[in-house]
Every structure is written in C-alpha cells, then in structure tokens.
C-alpha cells in the first residue's frame, strides 16, 4: 500500500498536474436562480523535503525524506445579504527516516456564515480564520495563531496564513468610512477539555493625512493580551511598521526556577501556577513572581517587532529588515534547565522540542533580513534570501529560495535551508542541519 501511495504521488507530480489547463486562477463561478452566486477555487500543491540530520541527532537515520500533497479547496455561496464560506484542506504524506510511513488527514479550516444585517454591520458565526499583524517574519499580535507560527517553516508567507485551522466564533463587525470595529466570542472545539470561551476585539483605522494605518486589539484567554499594529508610508519606496503585544503573564509552561539545583529537584508546571507544590516560588524572569497561587504583576510582558520595507521599482526587489524583541521568551537559565531535564531523561526530547517551538518560546532578540524577488530571468525566475540571527545565542538561520513562475496558474519553489549555532542555541537545537525543500503549486 505504501509503495502504491508513493507511486501515485510521483505520477501526480510528473504527469497529471503539469498537464492541467493553464488558466489564470480560473475560479469556477456560476449563478443559481436569480440571486445565489456560487464560487469554487483552490490549489493543489505537491511538496518534497530532504533533511540532513546533525550528527548528535542521528540514531538509525542520517537523512530524512518526506513527500506530501496538500489540496486547498475554497467554496462560497452568497446572496445579497448572506454569505456561506468553506475551506477544506486534505493532506497526505509519506516519510522515510529510514523506515517509511504514511499518514493522511483532512482539515476543515473554515466553515462560517456571514449576514450583512445592515449596510455597515455584519454578523459572523462558524469557524473562521482571523489573521492579524503587519510584520513579515513574526507576528506577536496574531493572538489566535501563536501556536501555528514556526520559525523556519517552508511555507510561503501566504501559505502560512492560509493553511491553518480557523476558530469557532460568533461576532459582530461595524464598518465606518475609514475604520472598522470587530468583536468575537471564541468557542472551544470541545467543552470536555480544559478549554473555555475566549474573547477578541479589534479596531482598525486609516489615517489618510499621515498615510498610515493602525490596529488595536485585545484578547482574553485567562489573561489579558493587548496589541497594536502601525504601518506608515515614509516615502515613495520606504514603509515602516511596528507590532507590539502586551500580556499579564507569559502564558506558557515553565520549568521550576525556584530551585537552584535542577539535578536535585525539577519539574514542569503550567504557567498559571495552579499545579505548584505548597511553598514553591517560580521566578518568571520578568518583573513579578507567582507564589502559592497568589499573583502580583506588572504589565511588563511584551513581544515586539519593528521593521522597514524598501521597494526598488528599478531593480524590482524588496528588502525587509526587522528587529524582534520578546520579554516573554525563555531566559538562558530556563533553556539550560529544560535541556538538562531532557539530557537526564526526566522529560522526553519531543517534550523539550514542543516547549521550545510552541509560541516562539526561544525568541528573545533577533534580527530578520530578507531580500525578495531578485530577478534571475525576467518574470520567470527570481531569488529570495532570508537571514535570521539570534542576538542572544548567535544562532543563525539561512534560506535561499528560487521561485519559478511557470505560468499564470502554476508556480514552483526551491528552498535550501541551513541551521547553525551552539547546541544550546535556538537554531543549533534543530535536529536538521541542512534541508532542501521543493514544491509545485497549481491554482484553479
């Protein structure tokens, strides 16, 4: 069966998809009756990935290969006042490391109804993707997707925002001439878990006289998170932007740092402090401490991005420079504690990896630099170069991307990634040292 699935992948990649008709994002549109409009569009994406593992990460594998196919289908039915939207994402993958395994799933990313109750008021109910943020490499104010952002992911910027689960919600939007106000209640997938109802509010406004936009947001999930995004046109070719998120606490699992000798006593506790043994004090490494379920805090937990984008019309390139600062990420001591626990076998390597990469726990001070759309062959081949440098741990992520615009409806991508740094640094901890990624996408 695995051989059959792999063979179908190869046949699809080599023969079926390239033979599809070349139509520029030709969505299927039709009208039923007098006022029901139907639209269907999507993309088929075949991806391959080969990784060279670090020597210390090798057990029975020196290399790892993965071949997977992602189909994104978007459907919409609309009338004058009502709109029904759905996005489903079938996913199939085969991996060799060195044994082969196959898995598949289907995600329902969006399934929601919108009612334009008045010309300037809209009601929304169902599962919908809410995307927030103005920065390119990291979005701290995108509160609903913190666990969906992965540094070094091979997804493009568009795919990173599109290929993720939406949230179950009910909300109301009010639109003004140059602004919009949105308020949502967010519901868990299952009330049998520890999840609970959350709330999100956003206000966006355009300052036309200053050629700038700003968005204010607030998210409540056992703790209050506040966000502000600002984007301003500084000149004909230069844009500046800022993202800043504030929170009552870090909202993440932490290692007991109240004990100086981790070899004698250690443990993992949830960030709300409810599972602490009596008398244990956890140093949050910021401006306050939790002690026996009582809390005294200052609003000093922040994540921020400040950046500039330069666009050259003559050269046809774009340059993004960003500085990332997180006052909520793990301190160096906390990173060492987690690694010590993993080396001692008190927590598994996968648990340590989840702690490091969930919610960008190891981002403290970083520089992000990208040159985009460097022309190789006009309107056909272009090159992107991305650098992410950790100012705290001197680790480095490098990516070279080659983009091939095959036609108006099909594109190909080649990424070559390199992760380097000390074994206790963010990118030095990544099991892969080198990675080659390729994809072919057909839009319909």
267-312, pLDDT tens digit by residue? 444 443 344 444 444 333 322 232 223 343 445 678 899 999 999 9
pLDDT at 253 over 80: no
* pLDDT for the residue numbered 350: 62
Domain 50-62+134-443: CATH class, spelled out: mainly beta
Cα(358)–Cα(223) distance, integer angstroms: 18
Cα(337)–Cα(425) distance, integer angstroms: 13
Query: Model confidence at 154, in pLDDT bands (50, 70, 90)?
Result: confident
> What pTM, to 2 d.p., does this model score?
0.80
306-340, pLDDT tens digit by residue? 999 999 988 889 999 999 998 877 777 777 777 77
Domain segments of the chain as ranges: 50-62+134-443
* DSSP string covering 246-301: EESS--S-EE--S-S-TTTS--EE-TTSTTPPTT-EEE-SSS-EEETTEE---S-E
Average pLDDT estimate for 54-82: 81
* pLDDT for the residue numbered 159: 84
Tokens of 334: 């906390």
196-218, pLDDT tens digit by residue? 889 999 999 999 888 999 999 99
How far is the first Cα of the chain from the last one, in angstroms, to the nearest whole number?
Answer: 30
pLDDT at 23 over 70: no
372-418, pLDDT tens digit by residue? 999 998 889 999 999 999 998 889 999 999 999 999 899 999 999 99
77-120, pLDDT tens digit by residue? 999 999 999 999 998 887 776 556 777 888 899 999 999 999 99
């Amino acid at each position: 069966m695995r051989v059959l699935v792999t063979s179908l992948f190869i046949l699809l990649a080599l023969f079926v998809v390239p033979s599809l008709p070349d139509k520029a994002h030709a969505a299927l549109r039709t009208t039923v009756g007098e006022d029901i409009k139907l639209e269907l569009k999507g993309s088929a994406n075949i991806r391959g990935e080969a990784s060279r593992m670090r020597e210390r990460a090798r057990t029975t594998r020196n290399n790892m290969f993965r071949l997977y196919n992602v189909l994104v289908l978007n459907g919409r039915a609309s009338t004058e006042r009502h709109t029904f939207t759905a996005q489903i994402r079938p996913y199939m993958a085969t991996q060799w490391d060195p044994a082969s395994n196959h898995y598949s799933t289907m995600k329902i990313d969006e399934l929601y109804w919108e009612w334009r109750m008045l010309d300037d008021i809209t009601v929304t109910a169902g599962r919908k993707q809410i995307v927030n943020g103005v920065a390119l490499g990291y979005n701290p104010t995108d509160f609903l997707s913190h666990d969906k952002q992965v540094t070094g992911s091979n997804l493009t910027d568009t795919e990173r925002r599109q290929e993720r689960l939406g949230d179950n919600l009910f909300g109301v939007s009010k639109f003004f001439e140059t602004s919009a106000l949105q308020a949502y209640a967010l519901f868990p997938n299952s009330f049998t878990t520890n999840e609970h109802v959350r709330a999100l509010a956003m206000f966006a406004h355009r300052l036309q006289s200053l050629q700038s936009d700003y968005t204010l947001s607030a998210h409540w999930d056992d703790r209050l998170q506040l966000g502000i995004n600002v984007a301003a046109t500084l000149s004909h070719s230069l844009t500046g932007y800022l993202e800043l998120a504030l929170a009552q606490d870090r909202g993440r699992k932490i290692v007991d740092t109240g004990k100086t000798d981790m070899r004698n006593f250690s443990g993992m506790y949830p960030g709300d402090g409810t599972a602490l043994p009596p008398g244990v004090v956890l140093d949050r490494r910021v401006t306050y401490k939790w002690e026996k379920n009582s809390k005294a805090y200052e609003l000093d937990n922040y994540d921020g991005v400040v950046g500039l984008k330069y666009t050259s019309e003559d050269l046809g390139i774009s340059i993004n420079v960003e500085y990332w600062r997180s006052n909520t990420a793990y301190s160096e001591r906390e990173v060492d504690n987690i690694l010590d626990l993993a080396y001692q076998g008190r927590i598994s390597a996968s648990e340590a990896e989840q702690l490091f990469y969930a919610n960008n726990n190891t981002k403290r001070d970083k520089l992000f630099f990208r040159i985009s759309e460097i022309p190789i062959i006009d309107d056909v081949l272009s090159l992107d170069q991305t650098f992410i440098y950790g100012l705290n741990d001197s680790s480095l992520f490098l990516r070279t991307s080659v983009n091939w615009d095959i036609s108006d409806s099909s594109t190909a991508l080649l990424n070559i990634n390199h992760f380097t740094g000390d074994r206790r640094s963010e990118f030095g901890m990544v099991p892969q040292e080198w990675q080659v990624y390729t994809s072919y996408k057909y839009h319909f």
